[in-house]
Amino acid sequence: MCAGYNATVLAYGQTGSGKTYTMGGAYGINIEGIEDMTGIIPRVILDLYSGIEERADAFDFVVKISYLEVQFLMLPLLPVDISVI
């Protein structure tokens, strides 16, 4: 994970199909000990900061994270032509 790559994870699908749960898991619950309820985002953050901690003496790190969730009703607010939908 700490090899200097940029990454994007995109979850797309029908309403109620589990995208938010897959990405975040059971938000608000301590993830230690319940790995089966932990989503992609908390797993990546935990792994990322574990890697940073292991290499903190040898390197300086900059971490930038963005999270964006677009609802269908928000599409008209985006500066794109949605007439193809």
Q: For 28-82, write each residue's pLDDT tens digit.
A: 665 566 667 788 888 888 888 998 999 999 988 888 888 877 766 666 666 666 5
Backbone angles phi, psi at 57, to 5 degrees: -75, -25
pLDDT at 39: 84
Global pTM?
0.63
Query: How far does CA 38 lie from the centroid of its chain?
Result: 12
